[in-house]
Amino acid sequence: MEVVGKCTLYVMDTPLLFYVIDTREDPILGLCASQTLNLIKVMEIHPEQKDGVYKQFPDVFEGIGALPGLYHIETDPDVTPIHHAARRLPISLNDRVKKELNKMEKLGVIKKQESFTDWASPMVVVEKPNKSLRICLDPRNLNKAIKRERFTIPNPEEILAKLAGAKYFSKFDATSGFWQIQLDAESSKLCTMNTPFDLYSFQRCPFGISSAPEIFNKYMRKIFENQEGIESFFDDVIVWGRTWQELKEREIKCMELARMNNLKFNEEKTVLGAMELKYLGHIINSEGSRPDPEKIQAINDMKIQDNKGLQRYLGMVTYVGKFVPNLSEITKPLRDLLHKDAVWQWTRAQDEAVNKINEAITNSPILKHFDLNKEVTVSSDSSQYGLGAALLQDGHVVSYASRSLNPAERNYAQIEKEALSVVFACE
């Protein structure tokens, strides 16, 4: 039979108790039924939610921390050191940069380097959205010599999969995350920064070096490992609980571990006792997760003018791909432009693909949190150019997945493509 169209239907199966009475009045939907069907939400107010943590652990929100131990940066001795000259600054920035360098020196992040060092990287000055300056070193050559830590950075999906049953959430942000890692003397000299004013050596791990993300995650995972209801991802720490009391107990445990390890959090970025929270590009609550509206808006606002722009667009779309069924099939006209032998020609097919993607992401459903205690249903499908899959529990979608077929797979018989989709879904 010829397929003339497709549709996706989101069905919620929820048991409800109804009372039937003998009256001529219009039937009404009660509070319990409305809450169960997510038609209304009753917000709970806990006035003590902020004062408790801040009053009990004020030191955890003050200054820049210093995690235990000294980090030694391993380098490849076969790489020749390079001592870069200082880059010139616009005269208008001189006073502001000097002021920021003095501030960093007082905080113990950098110190003046009196002697010559084999390695010296140029300074990079970035103006942040709030007009303050961020001073970093440009370690592109140094990174060629640094040996990576090879620590496995946690997958955001693994963290989100642990949130089943959670009702309350708190989030903490490590203050100037990498700066909380102390460097040993040898590593400090490696991280020397050449400025128009002086040579400075970083006493704390600078932003930009290739091993920084891995070593910072290694420290954070060690602090919070095996802690129920507490997870870290880079400088973001999330705490959750099924009840308000459970959340408060876990917050206290988080604060105790932070104090014990001299880890400091940014009070301005702290969120306490929320029933809905922005985390890892998602909006999460007790019902599940959905894409962050800011990310959706960024995708909708993107202008695609060349291959690089298209690659950036597809990269952003892929990050929220689990919310869109059969994404690979929708993106095919766009991916066709990235083939080596493809001639860049933006046509109506590409416009339609972008519109479909943006509409699907904008109207994406809430995905339920994965629950280890519930049965799993895996659904799979195949088309001429791609494979699709869905993970479901209790009839609710937990995640979508899709991928394109390579040229050899496109020649499979349809029954073989269906079998391949089953393998893909299970893997």
pLDDT tens profile 39-89: 665 555 455 555 678 889 999 999 999 999 999 999 999 999 999 999 988
Q: Quick one: pLDDT at residue 152?
A: 81
Q: Is the pLDDT of residue 266 over 80?
A: yes
Q: Is pLDDT of 211 > 60?
A: yes
232/240 Cα distance (integer angstroms): 12
Q: Is the model's pLDDT at 249 over the cut of 80? A: yes
Dihedrals phi, psi of 53, to nearest 5 degrees: -65, -45
* Sequence-separated (6 or more) residues with CB below 8 Å from residue 79: 144, 145
Whether residue 265 contacts residue 177, with contact meaning beta carbons closer than 8 Å, is answered with: no
Rounded to whole angstroms, the Cα distance separating 60 from 65 reads 8
Q: What is the pLDDT, as a whole number, of residue 322?
A: 87
Print the domain residue range for 359. 293-426
Does residue 211 belong to any structural domain of this protein? no
Confidence of residue 407 (pLDDT cuts 50, 70, 90): confident
Cβ pair 125, 97 in contact under 8 A: yes
Contacts (Cβ under 8 Å, ≥6 apart) of 373: 164
Split into its structural domains, the chain has a count of: 1
| pLDDT over threshold 70, residue 259 | yes
Instruction: Flag whether 278 is in a domain.
Output: no
C-alpha 74 chain-centroid distance: 28
Q: Would you say residue 410 lies in a domain?
A: yes
Whether 309 is in a domain gets the answer yes
Residue 38 has pLDDT above 80, yes or no: no
Task: Kindly tell me if the per-residue pLDDT of 326 is higher than 90.
Answer: no
Q: Looking at the domain assignment, is residue 388 inside a domain?
A: yes
Work out the mean pLDDT of the chain and round it to a whole number.
Answer: 87
pLDDT digits (tens, 9 = 90+) for 149-195: 888 888 888 888 889 899 999 999 999 889 999 999 999 999 999 99
Is residue 48 domain-resident?
Answer: no
Q: What is the pLDDT of residues 376-392, one digit of tens each?
A: 999 988 888 888 889 89
Q: What is the CATH number of the domain that holds 342?
A: 3.10.20.370
Q: What mean pLDDT is predicted for residues 202-211? A: 92
In percent, how much of the chain has pLDDT > 90? 43
pLDDT band at 274 (very low <50, low <70, confident <90, very high): very high
For residue 123, list its beta bridge partners: 137
Cβ contact 284:291 at 8 Å: no
Q: What is the pLDDT of residue 244?
A: 94
Q: What is the pTM of this model?
A: 0.79
Contact call for residues 422 and 416 (beta carbons, < 8 A): no
Residue 8 has pLDDT above 60, yes or no: no
| 6 occurs within a structural domain | no
In the predicted structure, residue 318 carries a pLDDT above the cut 90: no
